[in-house]
C-alpha cells in the first residue's frame, strides 16, 4: 500500500521537477486536486501530519512549525479518500477549502499579451515593460538593474525621489515565487505614488523617497507561470537529489544572515519548499538585494517592508526568538497598529501585528530581520497580504485592486505614524 501511494503521489511531483532542459517543460495541472485546511491541535497530531507528508508526499503549503496553527495541504483525486480517512482516524479537524484547484487557478489565468493593470496577474515581461515605461516617462524615477538571477534574469529596481534630503522607504516584492499578490501590490503602490491624484498619496510621494524592488525572485516567478504554479524558492540546483532528480532552489526569505539557522521545521531539508540553504547569504538574488540596500548611505532608508502572502499580518522583528524583542519593539507595534487601523477602513480587512516569532513561529533568515538587525533600519516588517485562508496562496485576481487599495490606506497610516514617532528624523 505504501509503495502504491508513493507512486501515485510522486506522479505530479515528477512532472513538477522535470529533468529535461527548459524548452520542453510541461506545465503541471491540478484538475480535481482539493485543498484541505487542517487544524493541528497538539504535537502528536503534528508528528502524524509529518508522517503523512513523508509517506505520500502530499503538497503541504505552509511551513510545519508547531501546533495551534492551520495548515493547508493539496491532495490529488486518487489520494483524497485515503487522506480523509487518515485525518478522521487521527481526529484532525479539517475542511476542504478548494474543491478543484485547477478550476480556481483558471479563474486567474494570465494573458501573456496583456498590458499592466491591477485586475489580473501578469507575466514578468508585462511587469518589467510597465516599469521601463514609467521610468522613461518620469525624470524623478531612477531605474537600475541591481543584479541578475541565477538563470540570468534582471532584478530591477525603481527609486522615486522628488526632493533632496528625503528619507526613504523600501518596498520588497515577490521573494517567494508563488505569492503573485506581492508584486501585484508593490506595483499597485508604486503606480499610486506616481500617478494617483489623491493629495495624501502625492504628499507621501513628495516628502519621502521610495525604493522598490518588485521582483526579487524572477526565476521562481517565471517558473510559477510556465511550469509549477506552487513554486516558492528560487531555481538554483541546490546540490541535493530525490526520486524526481535534482532538487532546486533555496527559500530566499530563510537565507539572510541574521541569527541564521534558527528553528523551523524542514529548513534544512534541501528538497523541501522551506530549505534555507546550507549556509546564509548563498543566493545571488539576495546578495544583489543586500548590496543594493547597502549602496545607500547609512540612515537614509528608514523603513523596509517585505510583501508576502497570506494571513493578514504585519510581522515585526524578530523571527528567531519569541522571548527576545527589538529595543524599539513597542514603537514598532504602534506604527504597525496605525497600518492595521487604516488598512481596515476600505473593506474591513483585519491585520494582526506583532513580532513574527510570537505571532507566526520561530524562524530565522528573513529580510525584515536582516534589515533591522544588520542594516539598523528602525522600522521593518513583513506584510502578509490577503486573505486569512479562504483562498490562501491562490487569491483570485479580482481581489488585486481591493488589496492594493487597503494596503495603500494602511501605508498612509503607517508612514504618518512613523513620522510622528520620529522614525524619519
Residues taking part in catalysis: 384
Q: Name the residue nearer to Zn ion (CB basis): 227 or 309.
A: 309
Q: Name the residue nearer to Zn ion (CB basis): 57 or 62.
A: 62
Buried/exposed 356-390: b ≥16 CB within 10 Å, e otherwise: bbbbbbbbbbbbbbbbbbebebbbbbbbbbbbbbe
421 vs 258: CA distance, rounded Å = 26
Map grid coordinates 480556481 to a residue.
Answer: 104
* CB of residue 2 to Zn ion, shortest distance in Å: 33
Q: Name the residue nearer to Zn ion (CB basis): 157 or 360.
A: 360
72 vs 310: CA distance, rounded Å = 12
Query: What Rg do the C-alpha atoms of the chain give, in angstroms?
Result: 21
Q: Name the residue nearer to Zn ion (CB basis): 235 or 302.
A: 235
Q: Name the residue nearer to Zn ion (CB basis): 179 or 283.
A: 179
Q: Name the residue nearer to Zn ion (CB basis): 82 or 394.
A: 394
Task: Write 61-66 long-range contacts (CB < 8 A, 24+).
Answer: 61/35, 61/230, 61/392, 61/393, 63/264, 63/265, 63/266, 63/273, 63/274, 63/361, 63/363, 64/265, 64/266, 65/263, 65/264, 65/265, 65/360, 65/361, 65/362, 65/363, 66/361
Q: Name the residue nearer to Zn ion (CB basis): 161 or 352.
A: 352
Contact present, 218 and 124 (Cβ < 8 Å): yes
316 vs 340: CA distance, rounded Å = 13
Partners of 148 in the β-ladder:
154
91 vs 109: CA distance, rounded Å = 37
Q: Name the residue nearer to Zn ion (CB basis): 302 or 308.
A: 308
Interface with Zn ion by CB under 5 A: which residues?
176, 179, 308
* CB of residue 393 to Zn ion, shortest distance in Å: 9
Contact present, 38 and 100 (Cβ < 8 Å): no
Most distant CA atoms of the chain, gap in Å: 69
Would strands 313-316 and 237-242 be described as parallel, antiparallel, or unpaired?
unpaired
* CB of residue 356 to Zn ion, shortest distance in Å: 11
Set of cell numbers at residue 251: 527559500
Q: How far is CA 196 from the centre of its chain?
A: 26
Contact present, 353 and 336 (Cβ < 8 Å): yes
Set of cell numbers at residue 65: 512549525
* CB of residue 263 to Zn ion, shortest distance in Å: 18
* CB of residue 307 to Zn ion, shortest distance in Å: 8
* CB of residue 244 to Zn ion, shortest distance in Å: 23
403 vs 385: CA distance, rounded Å = 7
* CB of residue 247 to Zn ion, shortest distance in Å: 20
DSSP code at position 355: E
Residues with Cβ within 8 Å of 262's Cβ and at least 6 positions away in sequence, in order, are 319, 320, 321, 362, 363, 364, 365
Amino acid at each position: 500500500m505504501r509503495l502504491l501511494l508513493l507512486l501515485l503521489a510522486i506522479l505530479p511531483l515528477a512532472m513538477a521537477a522535470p529533468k529535461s532542459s527548459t524548452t520542453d517543460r510541461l506545465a503541471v495541472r491540478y484538475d480535481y486536486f482539493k485543498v484541505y485546511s487542517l487544524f493541528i491541535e497538539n504535537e502528536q497530531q503534528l508528528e502524524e501530519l509529518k508522517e503523512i507528508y513523508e509517506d505520500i508526499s502530499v503538497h503541504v503549503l505552509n511551513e510545519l512549525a508547531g501546533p495551534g496553527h492551520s495548515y493547508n495541504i493539496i491532495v490529488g483525486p486518487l489520494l483524497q479518500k485515503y487522506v480523509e480517512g487518515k485525518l478522521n482516524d487521527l481526529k484532525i479537524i479539517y475542511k476542504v477549502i478548494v474543491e478543484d484547484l485547477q478550476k480556481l487557478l483558471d479563474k486567474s489565468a494570465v494573458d501573456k499579451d496583456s498590458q499592466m493593470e491591477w485586475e489580473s496577474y501578469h507575466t514578468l515581461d508585462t511587469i518589467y515593460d510597465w516599469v521601463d515605461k514609467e521610468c522613461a516617462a518620469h525624470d524623478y524615477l531612477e531605474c537600475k538593474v541591481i543584479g541578475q538571477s541565477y538563470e540570468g534574469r534582471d532584478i530591477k529596481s525603481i527609486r522615486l525621489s522628488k526632493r533632496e534630503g528625503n528619507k526613504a522607504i523600501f518596498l520588497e516584492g515577490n521573494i517567494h515565487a508563488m505569492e503573485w499578490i506581492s508584486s501585484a501590490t508593490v506595483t499597485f503602490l508604486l503606480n499610486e505614488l506616481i500617478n494617483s491624484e489623491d493629495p495624501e498619496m502625492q504628499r507621501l510621494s513628495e516628502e519621502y523617497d521610495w525604493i522598490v524592488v518588485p521582483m526579487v525572485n524572477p526565476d521562481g516567478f517565471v517558473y510559477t507561470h510556465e511550469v509549477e504554479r506552487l513554486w516558492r524558492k528560487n531555481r538554483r540546483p541546490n546540490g541535493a537529489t530525490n526520486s524526481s532528480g535534482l532538487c532546486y532552489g533555496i527559500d530566499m526569505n530563510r537565507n539572510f544572515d541574521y541569527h541564521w539557522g534558527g528553528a523551523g521545521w524542514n529548513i534544512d531539508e534541501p528538497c523541501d519548499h522551506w530549505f534555507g540553504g546550507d549556509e546564509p547569504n548563498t543566493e545571488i538574488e539576495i546578495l544583489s538585494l543586500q548590496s543594493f540596500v547597502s549602496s545607500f548611505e547609512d540612515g537614509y532608508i528608514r523603513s523596509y517592508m517585505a510583501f508576502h502572502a497570506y494571513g493578514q499580518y504585519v510581522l515585526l522583528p524578530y523571527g528567531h526568538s519569541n522571548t527576545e524583542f527589538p529595543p524599539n519593539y513597542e514603537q514598532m507595534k504602534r506604527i504597525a497598529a496605525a497600518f492595521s487601523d487604516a488598512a481596515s477602513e476600505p473593506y474591513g480587512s483585519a491585520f494582526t501585528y506583532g513580532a513574527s516569532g510570537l505571532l507566526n513561529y520561530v524562524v530565522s533568515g528573513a529580510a525584515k530581520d536582516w534589515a533591522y538587525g544588520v542594516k539598523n533600519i528602525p522600522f521593518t516588517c513583513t506584510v502578509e497580504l490577503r486573505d486569512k485562508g479562504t483562498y490562501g496562496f491562490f487569491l483570485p485576481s479580482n481581489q488585486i485592486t481591493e488589496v492594493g487599495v487597503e494596503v495603500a490606506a494602511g501605508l498612509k497610516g503607517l508612514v504618518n505614524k512613523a513620522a510622528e514617532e520620529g522614525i524619519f528624523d
